[in-house]
């Protein structure tokens, strides 16, 4: 257990905390005359969790502490956080369910493809669009939480919906990009294995020819 992995586990800890704040819509307190309603706490928790996502990667590379546990937990923590946030927003009637199905479905589809790629012995690096999608997701969720009380923040709600559309579009496009790159790599591996089997079969047939 090192600092990057501890930050990843902290991000997982933030998930139930975020759900509790959003679904109970509490706490709502005033601090020195400043109203700190559940929207404030929800955005704060989300941004703190997003900060750990950046920090664990930064420290893992800087300290040369990239571990198998970290590689496994990091994408799981990201998907748990985003999935929990969007499902909570659906329950709060702030986000259409079909959009969340596309966003979460994309995440777990790509996770499945990564597992297959790992089993085949190759990896596919995240594209720039895929990384941008993660930033858009955090921004969209933060804006939607901040504008949870629509009567008070109609502009934030419209901005959040616009960002949500960008998330859906980037999710679909980045998923298509990932699948095409995955299929290209997998197809090349399959063709290579077929060629090797044909060569081995040809060699065996030559060896079997009597002198």
| Chain segment 72-85, per-residue pLDDT in tens | 788 888 889 999 99
The upper half-sphere exposure of residue 14, i.e. CA atoms within 13 Å in the direction of its Cβ, equals: 27
Query: How many angstroms separate the CA atoms of 44 and 9, rounded?
Result: 18
Query: How many angstroms separate the CA atoms of 153 and 142, rounded?
Result: 13
| Chain segment 101-135, per-residue pLDDT in tens | 999 998 888 888 887 877 777 677 666 777 788 88
The pLDDT score that the predictor gives to residue 143 is 92
In 3D space, the residue among 198, 161, 169 whose CA is nearest the CA of residue 102 turns out to be 169
pLDDT: is 189 or 137 the higher one? 137
| Number of other residues whose CB lies within 10 A of the CB of residue 32 | 5
Query: How many angstroms separate the CA atoms of 43 and 173, rounded?
Result: 27
pLDDT at 205 over 80: no
| Number of other residues whose CB lies within 10 A of the CB of residue 191 | 10
Give pTM, 2 decimals.
0.80
Query: How many angstroms separate the CA atoms of 9 and 49, rounded?
Result: 10
């Amino acid at each position: 257990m090192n600092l990057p992995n501890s930050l990843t586990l902290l991000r997982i800890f933030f998930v139930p905390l975020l759900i509790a704040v959003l679904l109970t819509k509490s706490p709502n307190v005033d601090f020195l005359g400043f109203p700190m309603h559940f929207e404030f706490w929800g955005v704060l928790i989300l941004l703190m969790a997003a900060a750990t996502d950046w920090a664990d990667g930064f420290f893992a590379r800087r300290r040369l502490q990239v571990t198998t546990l970290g590689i496994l937990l990091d994408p799981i923590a990201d998907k748990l956080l985003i999935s929990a946030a969007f499902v909570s927003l659906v329950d709060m009637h702030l986000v259409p369910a079909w959009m969340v199905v596309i966003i979460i479905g994309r995440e777990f589809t790509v996770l499945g493809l990564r597992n297959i790629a790992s089993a085949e012995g190759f990896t596919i690096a995240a594209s720039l669009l895929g990384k941008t999608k993660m930033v858009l997701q955090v921004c969209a969720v933060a804006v939607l939480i901040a504008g949870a009380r629509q009567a008070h923040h109609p502009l934030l709600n419209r901005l959040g919906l616009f960002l949500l559309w960008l998330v859906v579009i980037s999710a679909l496009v980045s998923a298509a990009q990932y699948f095409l790159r995955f299929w290209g790599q997998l197809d090349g591996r399959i063709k290579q294995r077929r060629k090797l089997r044909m060569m081995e079969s040809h060699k065996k047939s030559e060896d079997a020819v009597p002198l």
